[in-house]
Structure 1
Amino acid sequence: MAINNPYAAYQQNAVTTASPGEVTLMLYNGCLKFIKQASLAIDNKKIEDKNTNIQKAQKIILELMVTLNMDLEISKNMAVMYEYINHRLTEANVKNDGSILKEVEGLVIEFRDTWKQVIQINRQQQHRQGGQA
């Protein structure tokens, strides 16, 4: 169906040509989008939409968890944080609590922004190494 929908084709191409770091960044951004949509659904008393969007955010958090390299100490710490976020998303869903979503959104923003910095530092290091060859 991508042929009939240029935006879908673009999105598919963006994902398939992205580096693993860029895919992680896309996952964080997607998670934030679904958290915001869930929050809006709570405000508008659209319980089904809230549930759907929270579940989408949780699927992204679970995907981030399973891709962690558990040989690294930082990954073990991230796993604990992802578990916490997943638990809080469940709580927000059950309680229809937008304040919990706001808390989780703040954590995901911090992770995303830190990840952006990691990508930028990596690119700078690769660029410097490429210039010395």
Structure 2
Amino acid sequence: MMNNPYQQYKQTQVSTASPGELVLMLYNGAIKNINVALGHLDRGEKDEFRVKVDKTLDIVTELMVNLSPDGGDITNNLRSLYDFVISRLISGSAKFERKPVEEALPVITGLRDTWQEMLKQGVKKPE
């Protein structure tokens, strides 16, 4: 049973969100985890850094596996961007290096911003 009001709020938010809003939540979660991971790295908290990078990897992998296999150029471009982000996150996590993880951040942020704009304008999700 969930007694934490914040957890109840988050669960309600997820369960009532549209598919487009869920994707936006995933992007926001990835950005948040990257920023928290970098803070852990700055403080020398390597285990915590790796946990947050792993959570980001899970999110980006989830976004990638849900792309339509025959979605055309947009899907192929997204897949390439997700591959880049995943490779940078793995590299940064393996070596406890800031730069590769930082390189992933603007890609995810750009995708989030684009997705957010699409939602505002009512553009359908690319298949």
Contact 2:33–2:55 (Cα < 8 Å) also in 1: yes
TM-score (norm 2): 0.92
Check if 1:68 corresponds to 2:60: no
SS of residue matched to 1:69 = coil
Summarize the alignment of residues 1-133 of structure 1 with structure 2, pairs less than 5 Å apart.
1-2=1-2, 4-73=3-72, 74-122=74-122
Moved more, 113-122 or 68-77: 68-77
Residue 102 (structure 1) shift:
1.5
Runs of 4+ in 1 over 4 A off after TM superposition: none
Q: 1:42-69 deviations in whole A, cap 9, x for unaligned?
A: 1111010011000000000000001112
Count of residues in Structure 1 that have an aligned counterpart in Structure 2: 123
Contact 2:84–2:104 (Cα < 8 Å) also in 1: no
C-alpha RMSD of the superposition: 1.4
Identity %: 35
Residue 107 (structure 1) shift:
0.6
Report the AA paired with residue 21 of structure 1.
Answer: G
Measure, in 1, the Cα distance between the counterparts of 2:40 and 2:5.
Answer: 28
TM-score (norm 1): 0.88
Unpaired runs of 5+ residues, structure 1, are: 126-133
Measure, in 1, the Cα distance between the counterparts of 2:80 and 2:101.
Answer: 18
Residue 101 (structure 1) shift:
1.6
Unpaired runs of 5+ residues, structure 2, are: none
Measure, in 2, the Cα distance between the counterparts of 1:13 and 1:22.
Answer: 13
SS of residue matched to 2:105 = helix
Measure, in 1, the Cα distance between the counterparts of 2:96 and 2:29.
Answer: 21
